[in-house]
Every structure is written in C-alpha cells, then in structure tokens.
Amino acid sequence: MVGWGCLDDKTHPYFSQTILASCIVVFLEAKDMGIYDFKVRDIFGKSVDMHEFQGKVLLIVNTATGCGFTPQYEGLEALYKKYKDRGFEILDFLCNQFASQAPGSDDDIHEFCRSRYDVTFRQFSKIDVNGDNESPLYTFLKSQKKNGLTGSDIKWNFTKFLVDRDGNVTDRFSSFISPEKIEARIEETL
C-alpha cells in the first residue's frame, strides 16, 4: 500500500470525516480574515503588511500597461493627488493575466508608469487575480458581496475595489467605470 490510493472509507472510516472537518475549519478561519491580514509584495520586491493601510480609504486596482484602459492611470493619479492628504491610498497591482498586456519586468512597468503618467501611488509586483495562482488578497476581495459580483472572477484589467477606513469592501467597479466616475463614492467614503 503506497500513497493516498490506500485510503478510502472502507480502510479508514474516519478519513473522510477528518478531511471534511479540516476543510470546514480552514473555511471558517478564512471567513474571519480581513483585508489587513494579508501581506503583499511591492514593485521593489519588499514585503508589505496590509496593516500599514489600516484607517485609510483604499482603491485597489489590477492594472496593465498595454491595455485599452491604461489611460485610466491618468485619472487614478488625479484622484490620488486630490485625496491623499485625507487618508486615501491607491494600491496598484500589476497583472499580466489578460492577453499578456503587462509585459516586461516590474521595474520596466514602474518606469513606464512614472514617465508616461507621473504615477506616485503605491505599485505592487505582478500577480494573478484569478485561477490556481491568484493572490490571496484578490481571493478575499472577490469573496465580498459588492455590486452583485460575489466571488465572480475579475473580467479584465482595471477592475477597482473601494475599501473603507474599517477595511470593508464597499464597492466593486468594472474596467469600464473610469476613475472620474467613482470620485463621488470615494468622497462619500472619506
């Protein structure tokens, strides 16, 4: 008897119950997690604890530099400059998952965003937002009930999540919603 193939209900009657109980415990622990329980990697490779953003209003965005929505960087930067002194942060997560529209290294992308759009808000290393390798932060964000999109996959680049000062996801905006169109919601949340 080698490997897991030898374990079934007949040879180990409690095996299925143990696995089921373990899954329930993991689910319940994950359900109690909040946005501040995650660690992410910034564009320079440094580990960042999300607790750093506690008490701030966050706009979390998955981005790409070769996308039709890339000009939204301009609107994002304008929002950041206008509201950063009131406790507003934009967290930009690079993502190459949609038609490989974020080619190049993190350094290349950071330089592109700085030189082309004068981006000064926080940028983070490339991640997957869907699938087997998706970022745990994005698993959490997608699990929140917002705009009727609970648990649904991210459809494209520049999907935006608005998070209030208490760490609650208040809104999810599709790529088609420009930064300018969500300014009123940001203002209300501040």
CA distance 34 to 177: 26
Q: What CATH superfamily classification does 35-189 receive?
A: Glutaredoxin (3.40.30.10)
Question: Percent of the chain beyond pLDDT 90?
Answer: 56
Question: Catalytic one among 6, 23, 67, 95?
Answer: 67
Would you call 113 a catalytic residue per the annotation? no
Please say if the pLDDT value at position 3 is more than 50.
no
pLDDT digits (tens, 9 = 90+) for 90-99: 999 988 877 6
Pairing mode of beta strands 57-63, 88-94: parallel
Please report which confidence band the pLDDT of residue 31 belongs to, taking 50, 70 and 90 as the band edges.
low
pLDDT one-digit tens code per residue, 106-124: 888 888 879 889 999 999 9
Q: Is residue 181 pLDDT above 60, yes or no?
A: yes
Length of the chain: 190
Q: Return the structure tokens found at 158.
A: 């520049």
The pTM of this model reads 0.81
Mean pLDDT of the chain: 83
More confident residue, 90 or 13: 90
Confidence of residue 146 (pLDDT cuts 50, 70, 90): low
Name residues whose C-beta falls within 8 Å of residue 47's C-beta, 6 or more positions apart in sequence. Answer: 39, 40, 41
**What residues form DSSP beta bridges with 122?**
91
pLDDT at residue number 28 = 38
Give me 9's structure tokens: 């209900």
Any idea which residue has 């119950």 for tokens?
17
| Separation CA 85–CA 114 (nearest Å) | 20
